Amino acid sequence: MRELLRKRILFFGGKGGVGKTTCASAMALAAAKEGKRVLLVSTDPAHSTSDIFEKRFDRDEREVYPGLMGIELDASLEARRYVDKAKAEITRMFSHAVAKEAERQIDLASAMPGVEEVALFDRMSDLIIDRFDAYDLLIFDTAPTGHTLRLLRMPELVSSWIAALSRRRRALLSLNQDIDRVRLAPEAVDPDEDPILRTLDQRREKLEQVRARLMQHNFTGFVLVVIPERLPIEETARAAEILRESNVNVCGIVVNRVLPDDLEGGFYQARRKQEQVYVDEIRRRFSAYPLTWIPQFETDVYGLESLERVRSGLLR
């Protein structure tokens, strides 16, 4: 896991409740202790990062440890911000009558499923592009696996949508009809000067930058966190396969909450025997990936002292 400190962007993901936030936080702490400038970003609605560090995170960057800045992104808040930004752009580009109708359509669309995910990805993209040079390492503590995989597929999906909009807009402009009659920015007949196409092109370029960063294996890595139980193992296997097919670099798997070897008692022995079956399966099914084993602690991971124990386990 020490090799991960050489990355520029890390994502921590896995099934809900396996300890993604703990591992992401421990890695962020480890990087900060190595003298790196680190930004830890939580996109998980549970937002446990504030609890672990015992310091309040916000939607804006805030120092939670020397050299370590933290952000907790609220999807609903980001969605409102995203919609307000879209309305402002429409007001700038269109006449009052057209903008008013467009705003009504945006309000209707904002209630549809998926808007929060788009808005959340938009904010993550801003961080990946605009804050990349400000930090040595960006760490994203992500939501449960399915949600995370949808976010990582967002560049491809939104790029296709933008490409379709651009083609339609260019087709309308090329008709050389009465642009005022179709209520589409009559002052911008020339495609090279059209503000709508210019905005779409800027969005497309930004998405291409984000996608390039996500696919650069030397820069970016995805760490999957699993516990030795049946359902997390199956979900992790599916996630690893999907990430591999998407050319996202799975650079490590953390096996969390492994029972220690030196306990006694009938209940413990039974649990340990069952766990060993899953441990062997993890070794077999994930042999292609670096594996790191974190023991089950006797107390919850809460505060820097217990987080330090996880950090030591990750880097040993």
Instruction: Report the amino acid identity of residue 243.
Output: L
Domains of the chain, first to last:
2-79+112-263+291-315 (3.40.50.300)
| Identity of residue 135 | Y
- Name the stretches of the chain with pLDDT < 50: 177-182, 184-188
Report residue 254 as tokens. Answer: 């953390």
Q: Per residue in 220-236, pLDDT tens?
A: 999 999 999 999 999 99
Predicted pLDDT at 111: 63
List, for residues 51-89, the tens digit of each pLDDT value: 999 998 988 999 999 999 999 998 888 878 877 777 777
Proportion of the chain above pLDDT 70, given as a percent: 85
- State the pLDDT at residue 261: 82
> Reading across the β-sheet that carries 68-72, which strands appear in turn?
62-65, 68-72, 38-42, 137-141, 9-13, 220-226, 250-258, 291-295
pLDDT on residue 214: 87
Q: What is the pLDDT of residue 108?
A: 62
Long-range pairs, 293-301, Cβ under 8 A, ≥24? 293/255, 293/258, 294/19, 294/23, 294/254, 294/255, 294/256, 294/257, 294/258, 295/257, 295/258, 295/259, 295/260, 296/257, 296/258, 296/259, 296/260, 301/19, 301/22, 301/52
